[in-house]
Structure 1
Amino acid sequence: MEATIMPDLKEKNRIILKNSKMHELWDLGAPTILEQALQTIVAYVDTAMVGQIGAIASAAVGLTSTVNWLLNGILFAVSMGMLSFIAQYTGQGDLEAAHHTSAQAIWIIFVFGVIETVIALAISPVLPMWMGASQEIWRDASEYFFIVNCPLILRGSLIIFGNVLRANKDSKTPLYINIGVNFLNIILNQLLISSHTTISVFGMLLSIPGAGLGVRGAAIATAISQGIGGVTIFWVAMQNPLVTLKGMKVKPEGKLLKNCFNVSLPLIGERIVVGCGDVVFSALVAGLGTLSVAAHSIALTIEQAFYVPGYGIQTAVSTLAGNAVGKKDELELESVVRSGLIVAVSIMTAMAIGLFCGAEVIIRFFTKDEQVIVLGVSLLRIVAISEPMYAALIIYEGIFHGIGDTKMPFIFAILTMWGIRIGLTWIYIGMFGRDLKMVWFFMIMDNISRCILLWSLYRRRKRSLLLFDEY
């Protein structure tokens, strides 16, 4: 593919600044940011409500969260392969090819959903034991993981159709559906987790029923709300003329699926590598005791909220980067990169300052255990320092997802996750000490190293125009 002829550096920078993508990024990214913020709020509510039961309950829910991230991550990776091609076809003006690619989502959901569901339900009885957790949390952790993953194929629909709609520049529909899912989850949390409670509202006593199911109730609430969300987004997607199966032959299209799978395969590998790394990392932390697991789980949940702006902008960056590649416009691609970095790094830096200063106030919302609070505050302040670099990492990942260049990021993920985060943690715990704060330093080193590697790769590929020659 022929590259755009580049002007001199000054003229290039002037054109990039003039054609800034910030407005378009914000239009596409803002609904996704709000959507993910709501999802994080629900995770906060789950963690806080379960945390009121005690450290054992927090550890039981938090222990299996990394495995759920792995299962979700594989579905997300496949959807990003589709997003890349849909965005490029849209950039080329080939809406028919974009529609055919979008319609193949139904087969991906079915195949990956069934496979993941069978695996998840099969390993649920032994997963806590495999992860080296204390026996006191085995039953609750197994039950939580089993229930949450019963409707996994519907969760796949929510993830994959969400990204297919975003690839077609409709980020508001997934937002509206997730608002409903999240509010439903909160209501069900109250009805199922807690026991019967009475609160005072404007001087009147209000009685709120509750089943008192604890950890099991949190799992049922999540399963029901996500299942309803998966069905709803499928129905809505069928009304979208660029996604619907109406009037089309509902059969797998081998060439389209193969192209998407070729892009998705390294992303799936990356999610598996990172996800398995997170599982092993959590298993290493589990060996440090219930206190460490509780603090680690709560701090990770809190940290998620501070990634929301980055990941919201990432999806928009991926879509616009794919459009730029479809148009063969290198200047537009560079404008997308710069705009994405400015927006994500600025917002996440401001949020990191708030996290560092307000760590204790935030964590007290999730637990009453003073030991967990002291350790958790230290962890949050450690991770706050790395947030600006993590913002850049998220954006560079989004660029490579959008242009379909996924092989080297996969290799980098292997090197940093297993060589730095897992390797150094294993050596440290085995030979030197059992300080969870040091373990979190290794986690940060993993993220910073991967950011530097992706930045270097992008600059090298862009200069040699390999980004365009590969398509």
Structure 2
Amino acid sequence: MKNWKKILLLAIPSIASFASMTVTGMINLIMVGNLGAMAIAIVGVTNVIMYNAWAMFSGIGHTVNYLVAQNYGSNDMKKGLERTFIALGFGLLAGIFTILVGFFGAEGILRLMGSPDRMVVEGITYLQIRFYAMLFSILTFTLYSFFRGIGDTRTPMYASLIGNGIMIFFTYSLTYGNFGFPELGLKGAGIALFLGELAAFILIVYAFIMRLKETFGIRIKAVIGSMLDYAESKLIFIESFKLGTLEFSQSLAMLVFTAFVTRLGTNALASNEIALSVMSLGFMPAFAFGSTATILVGQELGKNKPDIAKKLGIETAVIGTLFLLVLGTVEFFFAEPIAKIYTNEPEVFLLTASLIMISAFLQLFDGFLNFFSGALRGIGDTTFLLRASLILAWGVFVPLSYLMVFVMDFGSYGAWIALYIYLTIFGITIMTRFFLKDFTKVSLKKAIKKPA
């Protein structure tokens, strides 16, 4: 029970943080939904595009998360802070890149997704604003990962809750012109998201600077020079590339999946996006327990306690599974009422309800994927995770989705069956790797220094 309490104290704030992002996304989609199915479709397609943009650079944060956890466990936080500053440098470059892509490539990206002309015209500005906000998303996630690495999941939770609260307020205000604000429609929803991301970034930067001074007694100038350390920079770059490519391979496969569904029509796409929004109630807690596994496994490995590290990884997965089981039961039996929250169009909410019921319990396998991936990240087993992701996303998920949707003509149902076949195989693969891995032979991740 002692370990369960320890796990929950770390996981609950992360669940609140990730869930707040999910609920915020749901509320925003519900608000925007009053603008019609076209607005829902634009937001849905944009969400997938932006998840791909975020995933491409998410490896920076994931790398900080597990390396800092190991450094914290081994009582070498000077190294952990140096690595965090190097990662922030990479994050800044990545954010600038996303701004340029948004400014010059928004229209082309929407057309590449197969969006009809009307969707492209109405969606360009919204997509551009979302790309601009990505700069803050990347840097904020990197700092969240630092705090989680040292076992502080509450600070990211507070920043996330406040940022998402600001986002909801301005979505309501700017989309429909409430509280004396101008009525900007979909553009207003984009600006609201930008303001929320900016607020969260400012809060987490302030907390980070205070933590440097108060807890570690280190000033920024003392570690800023570490950004020129070639060996450490190379380590951060390689690990970030592997974990970013892992996430990107999955998200890009989801982008192709969405492109397939887009070709089934606006109602099918709207149903797909609403169902994904609802199912993200399960995805985000799975991410939270996965992050908790990374923290605990990484810290115990840093303390040179591999047996305890593996035990905590298993117990984290057990608690996460119980959580998803309860959530899936609620989603299964209340699928249609949940779908009606988003839209009153019968063709949309009936299809959405069916998709929710298909995935309600199958999301347990997505949980296995996240729980045990998190544990494997904690020991730095990133190469295996990357290989498994690439093989299964592009060797199983994408071909199977095409087969189900276009060859066998199963429509949206076929697409979701393919999605969960993929997640089931992926989850079992990662879980098997975890149990077969000998943790006693794992060492802390170190940069390879060139001989003087």
TM-score (norm 2): 0.93
Q: Distance in 2 between matches of 1:108 and 1:446?
A: 32
Q: Does 1:315 align with 2:291?
A: yes
Read off the aligned partner of 1:390 and give its amino acid letter: D
Q: Distance in 2 between matches of 1:440 and 1:243?
A: 51
Alignment of 1:68-467 (within 5 A): 68-196=50-178, 208-209=179-180, 211-241=182-212, 242=216, 245-251=219-225, 252=227, 253-462=229-438, 465-467=440-442
Read off the aligned partner of 1:216 and give its amino acid letter: K
Read off the aligned partner of 1:87 and give its amino acid letter: A
Whether contact under 8 Å (1:73, 1:271) holds in the other structure is: yes
Displacement of 1:246: 2.6
Segment of structure 1 superposing worse, 105-114 or 185-194: 105-114
Alignment of 1:38-57 (within 5 A): 38-57=20-39
Residues 1:398 and 1:156: Cα distance change in structure 2 (over 3 Å): same
Read off the aligned partner of 2:230 and give its amino acid letter: G
Whether contact under 8 Å (2:98, 2:134) holds in the other structure is: yes
Q: Distance in 2 between matches of 1:209 and 1:78?
A: 40
Segment of structure 1 superposing worse, 244-253 or 441-450: 244-253
Residues 1:338 and 1:158: Cα distance change in structure 2 (over 3 Å): same
Residues 1:59 and 1:261: Cα distance change in structure 2 (over 3 Å): same
Displacement of 1:134: 2.4
Structure 1's unaligned 5+ residue stretches are 1-17, 197-207
Equivalent pairs, count? 441
Displacement of 1:358: 0.7
Displacement of 1:314: 1.6
Displacement of 1:244: 6.2
Read off the aligned partner of 1:248 and give its amino acid letter: A
Bigger Cα Rg: 1
Deviations 1:326-354 (A, max 9, x none): 22322111221221111100000100000
Q: Distance in 1 between matches of 2:377 and 2:41?
A: 34
Read off the aligned partner of 2:71 and give its amino acid letter: Y
Read off the aligned partner of 2:354 and give its amino acid letter: S
Q: Distance in 1 between matches of 2:445 and 2:18?
A: 33
Whether contact under 8 Å (1:156, 1:230) holds in the other structure is: no
Deviations 1:338-389 (A, max 9, x none): 2111110000010000000111111111111110001000100011121222
Q: Distance in 1 between matches of 2:442 and 2:123?
A: 45
Whether contact under 8 Å (1:102, 1:243) holds in the other structure is: no
* Aligned partner of residue 409 in structure 2, secondary structure: coil
Displacement of 1:245: 4.7
Displacement of 1:96: 2.1
Q: Distance in 1 between matches of 2:85 and 2:110?
A: 38
Read off the aligned partner of 2:106 and give its amino acid letter: S
Segment of structure 1 superposing worse, 345-354 or 333-342: 333-342
Q: Distance in 2 between matches of 1:398 and 1:182?
A: 25
Displacement of 1:243: 9.4
Whether contact under 8 Å (2:58, 2:240) holds in the other structure is: no
TM-score (norm 1): 0.89
* Aligned partner of residue 385 in structure 1, secondary structure: coil
Read off the aligned partner of 2:11 and give its amino acid letter: G
Read off the aligned partner of 2:55 and give its amino acid letter: G
* Aligned partner of residue 224 in structure 2, secondary structure: coil
More helix by share: 2
Q: Distance in 2 between matches of 1:249 and 1:343?
A: 38
Structure 2's unaligned 5+ residue stretches are 447-452
Residues 1:263 and 1:134: Cα distance change in structure 2 (over 3 Å): same
Residues 1:105 and 1:240: Cα distance change in structure 2 (over 3 Å): farther
Q: Distance in 2 between matches of 1:107 and 1:65?
A: 26
Whether contact under 8 Å (2:60, 2:240) holds in the other structure is: yes
Deviations 1:398-434 (A, max 9, x none): 0111111111111111222122221012123332215
What is residue 200 of structure 1 aligned with on the other side? none
Q: Distance in 2 between matches of 1:259 and 1:470?
A: 9
Whether contact under 8 Å (1:134, 1:289) holds in the other structure is: no
Segment of structure 1 superposing worse, 349-358 or 260-269: 260-269
Segment of structure 1 superposing worse, 117-126 or 287-296: 117-126
Displacement of 1:39: 1.2
Read off the aligned partner of 1:86 and give its amino acid letter: V
Segment of structure 1 superposing worse, 343-352 or 148-157: 148-157
Whether contact under 8 Å (1:238, 1:244) holds in the other structure is: no
Displacement of 1:100: 2.0
Read off the aligned partner of 1:143 and give its amino acid letter: T
Displacement of 1:195: 4.3
Whether contact under 8 Å (2:82, 2:223) holds in the other structure is: no
Displacement of 1:41: 1.4
What is residue 19 of structure 2 aligned with on the other side? 37
Displacement of 1:108: 2.2
* Aligned partner of residue 158 in structure 1, secondary structure: helix
